[in-house]
């Protein structure tokens, strides 16, 4: 059931919670139980890690043909973000004219509505991104 699935991913979505390897200091999102560099040596040495939410745009696309629940946000930007502490994450970039988004721009995490199960179901919240120092018209 969707409610339970979202609830299990809540910390990951709310706070960009991933893992850090105590051996090589690598940070990973989402959570991992084994470090891809240290392999078996990292078992039991992976710690919870909260990313700051700061990062840079690696690549992006502008979605003009959204699913119906995102129609009110169309056109919107989906981007691959390189998090400051390492690893990549896919996220929406909000609060801007999509035409100003570019590779290498700095972004910060924001807390937004991701989806809702109709008008009577639960609301899912989590991270999206916003360009830093942009917003003056």
Find the binder of Zn ion among 11, 15, 17, 24 (CB under 5 A): 24
38 near Zn ion, rule: CB under 5 A: yes
25 near another protein, rule: CB under 8 A: no
Distance CA(51)–CA(74), nearest Å, equals 28
Options 3-11, 36-44, 69-77, 122-130: segment touching Zn ion (CB under 5 A): 36-44
Distance CA(60)–CA(104), nearest Å, equals 10
The pair of structure tokens assigned to 6 is 């979202």
Query: Is there a contact between 78 and 64 (Cβ–Cβ < 8 Å)?
Result: no
Q: Which of residues 4-23 bind another protein (CB under 8 A)?
A: 10-11, 14-15
63 near another protein, rule: CB under 8 A: no
Distance CA(15)–CA(9), nearest Å, equals 10
Q: Can you give the binding site for Zn ion, defined by CB under 5 A?
A: 21, 23-24, 26, 35, 37-38, 42
């Amino acid at each position: 059931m969707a409610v339970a699935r979202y609830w299990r991913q809540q910390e990951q979505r709310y706070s960009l919670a991933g893992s850090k390897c105590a051996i090589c200091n690598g940070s990973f999102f989402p959570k991992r139980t084994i470090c891809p560099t240290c392999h078996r040596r990292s078992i039991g040495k992976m710690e919870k890690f909260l990313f700051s939410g700061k990062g840079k745009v690696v690549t992006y696309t502008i979605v003009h043909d959204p699913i119906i629940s995102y129609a009110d946000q169309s056109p919107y930007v989906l981007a691959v973000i390189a998090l400051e502490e390492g690893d990549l994450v896919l996220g929406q970039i909000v609060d801007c004219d999509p035409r100003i988004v570019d590779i290498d721009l700095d972004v910060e995490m924001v807390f937004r509505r991701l989806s809702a199960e109709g008008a009577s179901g639960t609301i899912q919240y989590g991270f999206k991104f916003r360009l830093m120092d942009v917003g003056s018209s």
